[in-house]
A and B are shown apart, each in its own frame.
Chain A
Amino acid sequence: MVHLKINNIDCYYDSVKIIENISFQFQTGQFVGILGPNGSGKTTLLKSISHTLKPKTGTILLEDEDIYTLKAIDVAKKMAVVSQGANIAFSFTALDVVLMGRSPHLSRFAMESEKDVEIAKKAMTYTGTLHLQDRPITELSGGERQRIIISRALAQEPQVLLLDEPTTFLDVANQLEIMELLKQLCNNKKLLVIGVFHDFNLAARYCDSIVMLKNGKIVTAGKTDILTSENIKTVFSIDTVVKQNSITKTPYIIPIMVSHQVPYRSLTVHIICGAGSGSSLMNLLIDNGYNVTAGVLNLLDTDQETAGFLKIPTTIEAPMSPISDTTYKNNLKLIKKANFIVVTSFPYGYGNIKNLDAANFAVEHKIPTFLLDESLIELRDYTKGQAQEKMQILKNKGAVSVKDEKTLLAAINYLAKTCTDSKNISLKSIASAAVIAQMEVTS
């Protein structure tokens, strides 16, 4: 049973304290991910564990032995390190590179023996790179090279494997393969693998334990369930939606950029949407400084979840229920306060057809109304033509069609800029705004 114990370490670069009072215990067979923003001390922590940066105070014990009392070469027999994006200077063959992992076990004058070659080849078999053994390392692809470097680390026959962002610079397939490989090393070879990662989804999916660092301190550590929206907000200062990956049953994190821009004028856009058709538009309009309201949406609808996250005022109906008169009327209140109405492209059934009546109400109250991508309404109409009919009436009364979100934004921006009285915009200027926006976007 390998134990790696970190006891209250403080690390400094010159006189600058980088990590402070870190304590943690690692067990064999664990796959630990260290997460944190740039400058949080992740790499420094890895350096101090890897016998490169001696902590000013505190100890690091590997099997109850302080690693800083050992010689570098003796540490290399127990611990292997895969650094970030290493480039190899000369065209050694892949096997030569892996054999270099044997060097801590060899005396200065010894040549590699048969046994060393065998160990190296075994490591290459494990990483699936044996067929590359005679190829020059400089001619291998990034993924192949990274696997050769991991083979080299395995040839050291370590108990602990440390990796600094092992998947940076790799494509998605290679990222997953490397992570799978590391996971196998923990499960089958009972290695303790500690890696610094930038991609928290990758870490959430493969690691057993997570250590989250910020400003050189551990914010929280534990199983992957510590990856909550609150913890991520504390550590990375970003807003996220944490869901469960329904396939792997691991946390799945979606970062969302929330604009800190203050609306430059108090204009409100009300979005009539559903089934996810309005989510990106909500984000876009907020990013561009508009107030946004939405409705009517059913609870748990994708758009409702987004609206909830973005803290958008929304009229909500119970899940799977048709729009009731009360909710309809509540929605009209929001519509009356809005400066612009957008009807997005979503399917209509008897449950939500009233949303088109709400749009009709808006048009009749001379609120500029845009129909986003309303072509092919017949494919989205599950009301035997009622929706199509209502849509046609809307258009006749002056609702304007726009092709996509970009054009819509350009049109609203144009109106916001040109019309002084936002409560009294003529149908003509709405139509011309749409045409100008179309031209602006296509040019």
Chain B
Amino acid sequence: MLNNFKLSKKLSSHRKTRNWQLTILSLFLLLIYTIIVSISIGYTSIPIPNIIKVFLTNAPGLNRLFHYSVSPIEEVLILQVRFPRALCAALVGAALSIAGTVYQGLFRNPMADPYTIGASSGAAVGATSAIILGVSVTILGINTIQFFAFIGCLITVLGVYTISRVGTKVPVQTLLLSGIAVSILLSAVVNSFHSMFPEQFRRSAFWLMGSVSYSEWADVWSALPFILAGSIIIYLYARDLNILALGESEATHLGVDLEKMKKVLLVSSAFVTAAAVSISGLIAFVGLIIPHVTRLILTPDHRLLIPTSALMGAIFLMLCDILARVVISPSELPVGVVTAICGGPFFLYLMRRKKKVDAS
């Protein structure tokens, strides 16, 4: 009997780790599948076998083994247009979801995300200011646009956090209200920059509503290092984020260095958000919906939640981008419009549910 008990315990813990690995693996496969689908769908559709052939022929290392004859037009379309675009969508989706997970965990509040707390708008103001000032240079691998976006994002998050803090707590209502107010204000600033300097913004709609239509390889390479580095730093704090769910003083009593954790996480998520915003503009609600849904269907444990929301966010934004391309084909919607159409009602649903929970 005792043996049995011990055995079942061993199984359960082992199963947990294996389940986690399986979940991540299957989401990763789904991600690759979505990338391929996303490349295949568009104004001219490309059959999936052709896409695979192009990849095999061009992949470094594999191109010695495979030599398929593919049409050069399709090759350019796949490699120079659709693949970077799909990757950009995936990167932005992953980045916003990770940032959303961090904000929700840090503020202990399931309604926080880069958009609702003003981080995205702050980054947008920073990025547009850099464009207007015309200081688009790259120093030490950091693009000034991204640097300004990062500064704008960080200042805004700290500002909103300070405004909405009451004592040591950050109540839901004040956080959302001040976040949304600041967000609207900063969007207006971005809007006015666009009206004042129209010639400097060839991709106006891209900025205002969020889009990955014009994404190039340069965008991927400029954002990837920051998103990757930020995410790795964030992941180091996964268990601390779990403990923070117990409450701030509880976390302190369990040996978490709360002040350091807050600083590190706010800076690294600002990096991640700024990198995403600088290549895609303002995309709303991804960072709200994805962590929330992932927490609901998989786990609130940040050690699994962070990687899985990143994967789910990447898949979700690519699917939204596909929708944005096909609904009014041959013309396109900005992907931000699609996420807003999905996210708005979801946000309202959350508000109602929260109200019920509070009332009961």
Question: Which of A81, A100, A104, A118 has the largest count of B CB atoms less than 10 A from its CB?
Answer: A100
Beyond contacts A91-B295, A91-B300, A103-B254: 20 other A-B pairs, Cβ-Cβ < 8 A, are: A52-B252, A71-B255, A72-B255, A72-B256, A74-B255, A80-B253, A81-B253, A83-B247, A83-B253, A87-B247, A89-B109, A96-B301, A100-B243, A100-B254, A103-B255, A108-B239, A111-B17, A111-B303, A114-B10, A118-B9
**B254 interface neighbour in A71, A108, A118, A156, Cβ under 8 Å:** A156
Shortest B19–chain A CB gap in Å is 13
Q: Which residues on A are within 8 Å of B, measured CB to CB?
A: 50-52, 71-77, 79-81, 83, 86-92, 96-97, 100-101, 103-104, 106, 108, 111-114, 117-118, 121, 149, 152, 156
Question: Which B residues are CB-close (under 8 A) to A77?
Answer: 255
- A92–B253 touching, CB < 8 Å: no
Question: Which A residues are CB-close (under 8 A) to B239?
Answer: 103, 106, 108
**B253 interface neighbour in A50, A90, A118, Cβ under 8 Å:** A50
How many residues in B have their beta carbons less than 8 Å from beta carbons of A? 29
- B255–A75 touching, CB < 8 Å: yes
- B13–A92 touching, CB < 8 Å: no
Shortest B101–chain A CB gap in Å is 11
Question: Which of A76, A87, A90, A103 has the largest count of B CB atoms less than 10 A from its CB?
Answer: A90
In the complex, A121 Cα to B5 Cα: how many Å? 12
Question: Which A residues are CB-close (under 8 A) to B242?
Answer: 92, 96, 100
In the complex, A77 Cα to B253 Cα: how many Å? 10
In the complex, A71 Cα to B17 Cα: how many Å? 31
Q: Is B110 an interface residue (CB 8 A)?
A: yes
Q: Is B108 an interface residue (CB 8 A)?
A: yes
Selected A-B contacts with CB under 8 Å, 29 pairs: A71-B255, A72-B252, A72-B255, A73-B255, A74-B255, A75-B255, A77-B255, A79-B253, A81-B250, A83-B247, A83-B249, A83-B253, A86-B246, A86-B250, A87-B247, A89-B244, A96-B242, A96-B301, A100-B246, A103-B243, A104-B255, A106-B239, A108-B236, A111-B17, A111-B303, A113-B13, A117-B12, A121-B9, A152-B246
Question: Which B residues are CB-close (under 8 A) to A118?
Answer: 9
Query: A84's closest neighbor in chain B, by CB?
Result: B249
Q: Is B245 an interface residue (CB 8 A)?
A: yes
Question: Which A residues are CB-close (under 8 A) to B108?
Answer: 89
- B255–A52 touching, CB < 8 Å: no
- A114–B9 touching, CB < 8 Å: yes
Shortest A198–chain B CB gap in Å is 19
A112 and B300 in contact, given A86-B247, A90-B245, A103-B243 (Cβ under 8 angstroms): no
- A76–B246 touching, CB < 8 Å: no
In the complex, A112 Cα to B303 Cα: how many Å? 12
Question: Which A residues are CB-close (under 8 A) to B303?
Answer: 111
Query: B245's closest neighbor in chain A, by CB?
Result: A89
- A101–B254 touching, CB < 8 Å: yes
Query: B235's closest neighbor in chain A, by CB?
Result: A109
In the complex, A88 Cα to B247 Cα: how many Å? 7
- A52–B253 touching, CB < 8 Å: yes
A92 and B9 in contact, given A73-B255, A111-B17 (Cβ under 8 angstroms): no
